[in-house]
Amino acid sequence: MGDKQKQKLTPEQQQYQQLEQKHEIKRPVVKNCFKAFLVGGLICTIGQAITYFYIYFFHFTEQTAGNPTVATMIFLSMLLTGFGVYDHIGQFAGAGSAVPVTGFGNSVISAAIEHRTEGFVLGVGGNMFKLAGSVILFGVFAAFVVALFKTLLTMMGVL
């Protein structure tokens, strides 16, 4: 809580907040990070195995194999989300299952499944990108700015 907000509170409220802070359960940061490292690393290792699969059996190159790999990972994440397994992984791993692209897939798919009771058009269609939308928005806008700058600088001969 910012200092500005704190000033508005009465002394009793401030006291209560100190009390609350004292009893707040500390997040086990080191343990959480270890779990995130383990699960996130494992997901990426599985991704690496799928990448090699596409390189050896479908003749993708190291550079292009990333695309089918991402699609396959999202497919796997659909199965895990549908059977309710991904939620359990997420509770254990925190960012370890949210940061990989499977977490992106999970947020789209779980939103789609959750809202199907509201119908396919308004429910599934309208809410699918409820969580992932912000990732797409800021990703695209940042990429636009970066690419625009770089192209302009290249055109002006700076780069």
Partner 1 sequence: MLPMFFWAFVVGGLICVFGQLMFDIAKLTPAHTMSLLVVLGALLDGFGLYEPLIDFAGAGATIPITSFGNSLVHGALQEAEQHGLVGVLTGMFEITSSGISAAVIFGFIGALLFKPKG
Residues 16-45, interacting with partner 1 (CB under 8 A):
27, 29, 32-33, 36-45
Q: Which two tokens stand for residue 52?
A: 């090699």
126 lies in the site for partner 1, by CB under 8 A: no
CB of 101 closer than 8 Å to CB of 74: yes
Alpha-carbon span 74 to 83, nearest angstrom: 14
Closer to partner 1 by Cβ: residue 16 or 149? 149
**Of the candidates 108, 121, 156, 158, which one interacts with partner 1 according to CB under 8 A?**
108
85 lies in the site for partner 1, by CB under 8 A: no
89 lies in the site for partner 1, by CB under 8 A: no
Point out which span in 4-12, 15-23, 62-70 binds partner 1 (CB under 8 A).
62-70
Type of residue at 10: T
**Of the candidates 58, 84, 85, 122, which one interacts with partner 1 according to CB under 8 A?**
84
| Residue 83 Cα to chain centre, angstroms | 19
Cα dist from 155 to 44, 143, 147, 152, whole Å:
37, 18, 12, 5
67 lies in the site for partner 1, by CB under 8 A: yes
Q: Which two tokens stand for residue 101?
A: 């692209």
Contacts with 71 (C-beta within 8 Å, 6 or more apart), sequence order: none
CB of 139 closer than 8 Å to CB of 146: no
Closer to partner 1 by Cβ: residue 11 or 155? 155
**Of the candidates 117, 121, 157, 158, which one interacts with partner 1 according to CB under 8 A?**
117
Point out which span in 3-11, 15-23, 138-146 binds partner 1 (CB under 8 A).
138-146
**Of the candidates 53, 92, 126, 131, which one interacts with partner 1 according to CB under 8 A?**
131
